[in-house]
Amino acid sequence: MRTRTLAPALLLILPLATACGGSSGTGGGGSKTVTVTVGYQSKTINTVTAGTLLRSLGYFEQELAARGKKDGVTYEVDWQDYATGAPITAQMTAGKIDIGSMGDFPLLINAARGKELKQPTRLVSVTGYNLRGGLNTVVTAPDAKLESLADLRGKKVSTSVGSAADGTLVRALQRAGIDPEKGIEKLNQQPSVGASALQAGSVDALSQFVAWPGQLAFEGRAKALYDGAELNLPTFHGVTVREKFAAERPAVLEDFLRAQRKATEHLRTQPVAAAESVAKETGLPAEVVYLYNGANGIATFDPALRPELLAALKEDVPVLKAAKLVDSVDVDAFVDPEPLRRAAAGTQDYPAAAPGRPELWLKEGNRTQSFDTPAALLKAFKAAGTGVRAAYVPDAVTGTLWFADKAVWVAEGSELRAFVTPSGAKAYADQHAGSGARIVSFAEAGTLAS
């Protein structure tokens, strides 16, 4: 945790402030200090525009410094880092965190707990989203013989109950005809614990949210078993605020949302620099950060409360009710678009997510190149040799971006297609067997492309 002191208060005689959020108080000489407490998840990199990146850029502090000069107040920001959304919700309902960011399923739990404990919260913006659900992935050990979700029947699976990744697991198992409660042995674990358990062989699979699956695959410690985008249901992370804080300090909330928009603009216009910055702050490989947050990344960053995302949130409620994690959630009452509307006044909306393209990250010049086809990417990859930092390719069906050398490749005549999972590649190859479609290695795909 770290607290940053911003603008010195003007020497005005002010009445003693009532504590707000994590802490507020008065300094010497009658000056007033207000502390805004922000809960975030540094390694959940789909939230960086309201967390890790925003913090490193200092945009929120800059907004508050300007406000402090007008108000005669010294604003401080207390950034509190957590591994998941659950402890952020616990702190918010205790009145100790003012603003927090978390995934769609945790947001619903946040709404439910806030109402139950008479510390209501409101959803005020989105950080990043994927319209098909590609931010959540089920992975297994690299040498595991599991080839599809159906192979998980009777197996041990680690996830974080109540998270977006758990929601993906539940829905995916149901579609595969497996009872999510009785058909597998589910272990409720923190992401880092689950990752260690997978490596130790004490679980058969891990269902987690960004950036764990990508990191494990990049490091050769896991392979993808199920791409959450197969559900074709939007998933996102968002920003929630204590209703009391929003009412007491609406201008500060708008400052936060303005700062979030600035961080979003920085990420969208300077994706490589943003990835490097987030990597430095979190210790994650920059190549993994870029997989999710890059120009063609799995996540699309836009604070807008898009109708399709809110519709998906409503579809999440029955899943949490069935798991007895919430009784009910009134999504319409939980969502408050007004603060963002005021903060974004006079700015243009971002376009909706566009299909991802193959992309090569080169060491020379620390720059990226996009390509029209996977074959063109592979040809450039081979030509660059050791000058390649990372290569990314979208799944031919779901569009989920993945590391080219970790993808499963299918050759069909002169066409090359990549898939996140073996089951996705096999399904395509089987359906197109008449045209000679066959699964090939990454090396063979590179040879065919050249």
Place of tokens 């600035």: 262
* Token duo for residue 448: 């065919």
Query: pLDDT tens digits for 332-382?
Result: 999 999 999 999 998 988 988 888 999 999 999 999 999 999 999 999 999
Lowest mean pLDDT of 24-28, 75-79, 206-210, name the range: 24-28
Query: pLDDT tens digits for 4-24?
Result: 433 333 222 233 333 345 545
Mean pLDDT confidence for 246-261: 98
Query: pLDDT tens digits for 106-159?
Result: 999 999 999 999 999 999 999 999 999 999 999 999 999 999 999 999 999 999
* Phi, psi for residue 260 in degrees, rounded to 5: -60, -40
Residue 5 is predicted with a pLDDT of 37
Query: pLDDT tens digits for 259-292?
Result: 999 999 999 999 999 999 999 999 999 999 999 9
Please say if the pLDDT value at position 60 is more than 50: yes
Residue 354 is predicted with a pLDDT of 86
List of E strands, 91-180 = 99-103, 121-130, 136-140, 156-159
Cβ contacts of 352 within 8 Å, gap of 6 or more: 131, 300, 306
Query: pLDDT tens digits for 150-194?
Result: 999 999 999 999 999 999 999 999 999 999 999 999 999 999 999
Looking at per-residue confidence, does 331 or 1 come out higher? 331
Residue 22 is predicted with a pLDDT of 54
Mean pLDDT confidence for 71-96: 96
Query: pLDDT tens digits for 293-302?
Result: 999 999 999 9
Give, in order, the Cα–Cα distances in Å from 197 to each of 157, 165, 204, 214, 235.
10, 17, 9, 17, 26
CA–CA distance, 322 with 317 (Å, rounded to integer) = 9
DSSP character string of 41-99: -TT-GGGGGGTHHHHHHTHHHHHHHHHHHHHTEEEEEEEEE-SSSHHHHHHHHTT--SE
Residue 7 is predicted with a pLDDT of 36
SS3 285: coil
Mean pLDDT confidence for 252-258: 98
Place of tokens 């609406």: 250
Number of Cβ within 10 Å of residue 221's Cβ equals 15
Please say if the pLDDT value at position 226 is more than 50: yes
Number of Cβ within 10 Å of residue 238's Cβ equals 28
DSSP conformation class of 203: S
Q: Is the pTM of the predicted complex or chain greater than 0.95?
A: no
Residue 352 is predicted with a pLDDT of 86
